[in-house]
A and B are shown apart, each in its own frame.
Chain A
Amino acid sequence: MTVWAALASPRYLISSWPWRSYAYLLTSVPMGAVSIVVLVGLAALSAVLSPILIGILMLTAFPLVGAVIGWVERRRAGMMLVDGIKSPHAKLPAGLTRRAKLTFRRREQASMRALGYGFVLGVFVWPLSALFAGLSVTILLTTLASPVIADGDQMGMGPWTMDTAEEGLLFLVLFGPPYYVVSSYLLGVIAGAEASLARAMLGPRQEELQRNLAELRRSRLDLVDAFETERVRIERHLHDGVQQRLVGLTMTLGLAELDLPDGEGRRLVVKAHSEAEAALADLRAAVRGIHPRVLVDHGLEAAVREVADRMPLPVTLQLSVPTRLPGPIEAAAYFVVSEALANVAKHAQASTCEVTGWVDRDRLVITVQDDGVGGAQLGAGTGLTGLVTRLDALGGTLDVDSPSGGPTRLRMECPCQLGD
């Protein structure tokens, strides 16, 4: 509901809108006066102080004054605009110092617009409001009081002159209602225009909305990408370093076994050998959880097949993903399938499981369905919750349909491109 819609309504005159319009116009008088005094005062002060540099520095603070005016005005506009005006300012990046926050706000275009609005308010809007609303309120109050005034004094209202209380009452009855009607509509239009001006200058521009959204998405993607890069780096480090050394160690121990005669020494070497192999197996499992090498080398299908092959239950795999996808997407999909299969093996009491994947209009879709007992939930402390966040950053979704009694069906969707 805006004042424009209210003006068209037949109930306008008996609604709260005429009074809101008065209130909005009248409050703009002190607000505008204060704004212009502050702005002009600051400008004068900085002009005076400009020889000692501080005056010039003060000029840079003007957009911040604008931002403050904007903040107050957006709230005041709530009288006329039911939804208020949304802030055009970008969300402050986390971890900034107070100084950096102020610099950030100062440089925003929205702050400059608010400053401009402050001048418009101080120079044009409030005198206009004062003129119309002030005059109208005066006439209205005088009309209401006319029986009393005319009783004791001669009272002239435009072309009419009233001498008695009866004449005053007649004037009130005849002139009052038509005047209220005309002035309410007139002030409604003026207040509506002022509120629209405030919204146009203080509200977020379309591109600001989109920019904020895009920035947010970009930064989340960057984060996911950074994690992915880091995982690959760790994996490479473990693979090329520790893992090779462990393989080398098992070789040496294997050789030593050949040379040693039967006895305690040989028994210990054999033990050391099997311990080194256990360490190697552990390391391999850990690396797989970080970022499996087969995913980097051979892509999603080969990596998922490897996971499926390790499952204790038969897994049917039908993946038709024609090309390699960007790393973070492949990794997210891999870990979703991997986690889903692990859950099936652990909780579902299923006898078979089916993984199906395809690309539909540039979106990767993967479903994992079992024939188990169901009752699975996304939030219930599963490893899938973290993956939902990860997918979300990529613009993807994860849904689990698992009625009690089964079966469980998990479906993930994700765009095939990063940051479109």
Chain B
Amino acid sequence: MRLLSWPSITQLLLAPLAVASASDYNDYSENLLLKSLPGNSILASFRFVSNGTFDSHHSVFPRSLAQILQQSQTKELHLKFTLGRWDAEQWGRQVWDGRTAGGTGVELWAWVEAADDSEADARWTTLNNALSGLFCASLNFIDSTRTIRPVMSFQPAGHHSPERLERLHLLHGTLPREPVCTENLTPFLKLLPCKGKAGISSLLDGHRLFDAQWQSMSIDVKPVCEESGKCQLQMEQTVDMVLDVERSLGKKDSPVPKPPPIEQLSCDQEKPYAGGDSCFPLSGVTDLPWSLSEMFGRPVRGSCPLAVVPTEEATHVCVNIAEKRSIFVSQGSEERKRSPELRCFTLHENLDFDIVLPELSPSTNLLLTPPPVYASRSLTGHGQERGGIQAVLNNPSSNSTVEFVYLESLPWFMKPYLHTLSATISGKDDGNIIQDIYYRPALDRKRGTQLEVRLRVPPGETVLLNYEFDKAVLRYTEYPPDANRGFDIAPAIISILDSSSQKSTFSIRTTSLLLSLPTPDFSMPYNVIILTSTVMALAFGSIFNILVRRFVGADEVIGGSLVSKIRGHVMAFVAKKRRAGGDKPKTE
């Protein structure tokens, strides 16, 4: 009797909670996409979506973030932490249409509700400072010099009422120099309902994530409204990374990366060699075998119990590999085949999940879809006085013209000359490439430059976008401690526009640039003050010396006037003192 009553009581106690939670559980889903890329790389794309409201007490939507959004009146938030470069030539199009990837470093943009610009700025500062604390990132350094208000590049992704849209201010800030690291991952995982302990998020480990060739963590919060008018906040967290299989597997044997011995290298035998110690390594001959636990250091620790019950549509893990390649999964999971190249699995709540892919030779790659635009940007010119920027924008399509907005956010100490801006196709400008320009010049120490150019590139053509700039010399206190390393310039953002709606459908970031500025000598402020002051004193002294004194012939001055004069004055003074002393009446 006693033995039986305990579970029943527990069940009774937990029953209402279970009912309440059941509806909330539907508000969280997670899935992982693994895609093989050429060159023995794997794209791992984690996606966690949670819905909730500000005032709900048992919601999966993180309360810490909700309070920040409420305090700063932020209606839509996009925060990206990115490292590395997405190699579009090799890996093709980015996942999620590039929506989740940011530029190198940290990128943040938000729609803040405010009556005017100054109020929006104040709320933006509040938001930055709060997020800075939440994510252990230097977001508080996004000040007015790093903030821009893009006009053409971004559109709100959430549902906003028309009257609210009028009061929303878009602000955008970047920190290209921010090193994204483990301390940003930990708070990121804490926002998840399972906190990285169970479900696919248990794979996320700082050692593996930040060892990737390219990785991006992103948080997008937006309001989502149903037909009935009921609105919720939706937070989408994603982690995308490109892992090098060879490098990850090598870690198993030796934690410190080192080149393999020559006996283990597969050399290109078709090339002539001068000696036995040289080798042209062959790569991508075979698809190397890998498993989840080898790539991430551990298997998936069951499914997250708070996540939505998987359905035919929503599964936990999907693998996108060549049809030829075989795949083995651990027990307890359920396979749902969608297409020959996409195999999806649902996880068991209490069982570890692992995937093993054996070696395949010769290597077979998936067919890559090219991105809408290939973009690269570089600095031109030499010296530390001035320079130029050249962006190479190529439209790979053979039949459709692509239209996009090219956005640059430059620091104030880089002074672009807009009159030198040119867009050419093989050296010629037919006047039809640049459609529109929005330009807001920099103000010294107050704000940076914002340049948005809407361009149209005909099929198969390459546009060269060029402009010149001057480099400013800063005050010596404005240089960072490692001044000669250079200054990071934020990546350019390319938003591909839909030809009919003129809305951004795809976004691409270029790499960040390293700009070297002229530097003063940091060791000698005192010397400079002294030397310059000496020259000024010399001018003042010599000119006034000539102005206030009068000329006398050298032979008219007898016995060196100055010495005799001084002597005369001293003698007169002494004599006067003596006389005064002698005359003083002696009083006792």
Decide whether A and B assemble into one complex: no
